[in-house]
Structure 1
Amino acid sequence: MRITKRISLVIVLLIITYALYTLISTGYFRTIENQFKGTIVKKIPLPGAEDITISYLDSFALISSTKRLIYPPTQEEQGGLYFMDLKGKSFSTKHLTESYNKPFAPHGISMIKKDSVYTIMAVNHTTKRHSIEVFRFDGQQISHVKSLTDPSMISPNDLVLIDNNRFYFTNDHGYTEGVGKFLEEYGGLSVSNVIYYDGKTFKEVANGIAYANGINFDPKRKLLFVASPRGFLIKVYNVRKNGSLDFIEDISCNTGVDNIEIDQYGNLWSGAHPNLLRFKAYAKGKKDTAPSEIIKIKYAGKNNYKVEKVYVEDGSIMSGSSVATSFGNLVITGNVMDDEFLILEKLD
């Protein structure tokens, strides 16, 4: 009887320890205090602007928009890619992929310019498959080039182009159902990865990541940055010529970093989820709001970085922030499920 009681006590203690670990590691006990030195310039009525990237060469933003009811989806969703001119202050959006008549629910996006033409890639989720859709954009018209699929696309989230043909993408899960998925989301099981496409074949180049999410590449420094929201960190890798990666370090962000954008000065920007459990409930439709956070990271090399909180709020203005990028004094933000996104202006 004593042995049975001891075993039961150990089990209870393990359950309590696991529950406390989950709550602490997901930011459940964090107090959200609204913080922003600036103003809201405009609210843009575009649903689920989950990823946004900027062309500093031509002063426009590319926006990935999908009308989401819950996340992850349980039925076919429809979205598109949108163009927003940043030269003026109207911030009007233009639907680029309106004529693309196949199921299209874009998630992560990336673009690169060569010879006055942009190659655009978007992670696409449909009820039948995951794919990466490739587009050609000449500044006026967009055309679909091809669809890429591969068994390595287990749960693709975001991608970044290295050139017109080569790119990296993240799988945010190693498991898509069952106990494995549960342990990834609540226990922090680190089994997601990064896949490299060299123009011909797909190859895993990094693994052991807790919910690999946003990804971006700094061509000047040959560095790849991968967000791990479940780990509250951004992983830094050196990129070799053959596409393989050398791990450098983890940047501790103290928040659930989502997409990563890099401005013209080399600073990293990320929309983030300071309370992952609250965001999970919001994404499932069980809560009306989820807190948002935007951070800026000045990265000067190993063990030399500074994380700045730019915007923090409880979700009453914008819930579930997933991306942020700067353009002058403007901070353009995006989110997973809101019906609009925000353009902010910093005062300092």
Structure 2
Amino acid sequence: MGLIWYLRYEFNKTLMRLAKRIALLILVLIILFVSHTVISTGFFRTIEYQFDGKIVKKIALPGAEDITVSNSDGFALISSTKRLVYPPKEEEKGGLYTIELKNGNFDITHLTSSFKKPFAPHGISMIKKDSTYRIMAINHTLNGHSIEVFTLDDNTLIFEKSITDPSLISPNDIVLIDENKFYVTNDHGYTKGIGKFFEEYGGLSVSNVVYFDGEKFTEAAKGIAYANGINFDPKRNLLYVASPRGFEIKVFSRNADGLLEFIEDIPCGTGVDNIEIDSEGNLWSGAHPNLLRFKAYAQGKKPTAPSEVIKVQYHGKNDYLVQKIYVEDGNVMSGSSSAAIFEDLILTGNVMDDEFLILKKEK
């Protein structure tokens, strides 16, 4: 009887020691996970105002998340959606707008005022052929995601069709290669549950880029931490993908079949969002220097979130320069998401503010 009691006692002691070790291991893993999250999202970054220029105008247009410029015709196309919180709890409403840039009056035209279906545009792209523009916009509704296709002719927008596909898991941004071919980023590989949690907080690299060749979608690149903004430089045959969760821009070359070959990552030190390319081939991005603060802002838990604009001069592999152009704590404009260049102007879009900024660089 004594032997049995002794064996039980020793067994229980062993279980207790094992339980303590497991608890200690779990505690260490939690500490490491939290430390990784706060460090890799810019939580401890000090935000100090920086801009060598001035604010030309504040444009009253809510959630001007993506902006792209036609330098030849002197206007910008804007994707605007009035966002209250993210993720949305009700159907959001938005539209596509143009803003005139040549005469300095910045006149705005609402292009989709007669568009009848639910429309909450996100990423946009346009390409010119002859005198008309082909425009595509990512659309998010409570019933799912789609790509809305338009033709812009003399400031008149004509709806062509909607494109849907199961591969559009969580579409964020789009870039046209020609009138019918394009790339789309999915910013999540998981849209709910523990997978989404580890994507957002752990930086799990499971999002992707899909390619539409005019007939079908195929996966062109994968293993990206929150694939976001995307753009293509046809002169250099390079495609750029923003990974805000990785604080980097990924560089790819484009094959004839549309598949992408990875070249390198450009560390940017901030949560890069949309990417625009200026006339000299430089990359411009609106960015979120503190991702946790931005998430709290997007959920309505914080009144502001810091904004940043960066410029990337990319000359080839291992040859690039990243410059901070505009940095502020969010009291002027929160949640910067895009930076489009027209001459010496920077049009800085955002995710949820009621207005966006037109900045002017010092020469």
Does TM, normalized by the shorter one, top 0.5?
yes
- Structure 2 Cα separation of the partners of residues 108 and 120 of structure 1: 11
Quote the residue 1:121 is aligned against: 136
Quote the residue 2:332 is aligned against: 317
Which residue type is aligned with residue 351 of structure 2? V
- Structure 2 Cα separation of the partners of residues 39 and 129 of structure 1: 40
**Alpha-carbon offset, residue 233 of structure 1:** 0.3
Please report the TM-score for the alignment, with normalisation by the length of structure 1: 0.99
Please point out which of 38, 48, 60 is paired with 1:45: 60
Quote the residue 1:188 is aligned against: 203
- Structure 1 Cα separation of the partners of residues 287 and 194 of structure 2: 26
Query: After TM superposition, where is structure 1 displaced by more than 6 Å over at least 4 residues in a row?
Result: none
The alignment yields a C-alpha RMSD, in angstroms, of: 0.7
- Structure 1 Cα separation of the partners of residues 26 and 120 of structure 2: 43
Task: Say whether residues 1:338 and 2:353 are aligned partners.
Answer: yes
- Structure 2 Cα separation of the partners of residues 268 and 116 of structure 1: 26
Quote the residue 1:308 is aligned against: 323
- Structure 2 Cα separation of the partners of residues 203 and 220 of structure 1: 24
Quote the residue 2:266 is aligned against: 251
Task: Say whether residues 1:163 and 2:144 are aligned partners.
Answer: no
Q: What is the DSSP-based 3-state SS (H/G/I as helix, E as strand, rest coil) of the residue aligned with 1:14?
A: helix
Please point out which of 28, 36, 44 is paired with 1:29: 44
Quote the residue 1:149 is aligned against: 164
5+ long unaligned stretches in structure 2: 1-15
**Alpha-carbon offset, residue 4 of structure 1:** 2.2
- Structure 2 Cα separation of the partners of residues 91 and 140 of structure 1: 15
Please point out which of 50, 57, 62 is paired with 2:77: 62
Task: Say whether residues 1:262 and 2:277 are aligned partners.
Answer: yes
Task: Say whether residues 1:130 and 2:145 are aligned partners.
Answer: yes
**Alpha-carbon offset, residue 2 of structure 1:** 2.5
**Alpha-carbon offset, residue 73 of structure 1:** 1.2
Task: Say whether residues 1:241 and 2:256 are aligned partners.
Answer: yes
Please point out which of 276, 280, 284 is paired with 2:299: 284
Q: What is the DSSP-based 3-state SS (H/G/I as helix, E as strand, rest coil) of the residue aligned with 1:322?
A: strand
Task: Say whether residues 1:174 and 2:189 are aligned partners.
Answer: yes
- Structure 2 Cα separation of the partners of residues 66 and 140 of structure 1: 20
Which residue type is aligned with residue 160 of structure 2? V
- Structure 2 Cα separation of the partners of residues 259 and 126 of structure 1: 21
Q: Deviations over 1:47-79 (max 9, x none)?
A: 000000000111100000000001221210110
Please point out which of 197, 215, 228 is paired with 2:230: 215
Q: What is the DSSP-based 3-state SS (H/G/I as helix, E as strand, rest coil) of the residue aligned with 2:51?
A: coil
Quote the residue 2:87 is aligned against: 72
- Structure 2 Cα separation of the partners of residues 9 and 28 of structure 1: 26
**Alpha-carbon offset, residue 139 of structure 1:** 2.3
Task: Say whether residues 1:347 and 2:323 are aligned partners.
Answer: no
- Structure 1 Cα separation of the partners of residues 85 and 131 of structure 2: 38
Q: What is the DSSP-based 3-state SS (H/G/I as helix, E as strand, rest coil) of the residue aligned with 1:264?
A: coil
Please report the TM-score for the alignment, with normalisation by the length of structure 2: 0.95
Q: What is the DSSP-based 3-state SS (H/G/I as helix, E as strand, rest coil) of the residue aligned with 2:236?
A: coil
- Structure 2 Cα separation of the partners of residues 27 and 45 of structure 1: 29
Which residue type is aligned with residue 327 of structure 1? F
Q: What is the DSSP-based 3-state SS (H/G/I as helix, E as strand, rest coil) of the residue aligned with 1:300?
A: strand
Q: What is the DSSP-based 3-state SS (H/G/I as helix, E as strand, rest coil) of the residue aligned with 1:307?
A: strand
Which residue type is aligned with residue 151 of structure 1? P
The count of residues paired between Structure 1 and Structure 2 equals: 348
Quote the residue 2:8 is aligned against: none
- Structure 2 Cα separation of the partners of residues 283 and 102 of structure 1: 25
Quote the residue 1:229 is aligned against: 244
- Structure 1 Cα separation of the partners of residues 237 and 248 of structure 2: 19
Percent identity at matched positions?
A: 70
- Structure 2 Cα separation of the partners of residues 131 and 7 of structure 1: 46
- Structure 1 Cα separation of the partners of residues 93 and 18 of structure 2: 57
Quote the residue 1:294 is aligned against: 309
- Structure 1 Cα separation of the partners of residues 310 and 233 of structure 2: 18
Which residue type is aligned with residue 99 of structure 1? S
Which residue type is aligned with residue 311 of structure 1? Y
- Structure 2 Cα separation of the partners of residues 61 and 6 of structure 1: 60
Quote the residue 2:124 is aligned against: 109
Quote the residue 1:6 is aligned against: 21
- Structure 1 Cα separation of the partners of residues 105 and 155 of structure 2: 18
**Alpha-carbon offset, residue 3 of structure 1:** 2.6
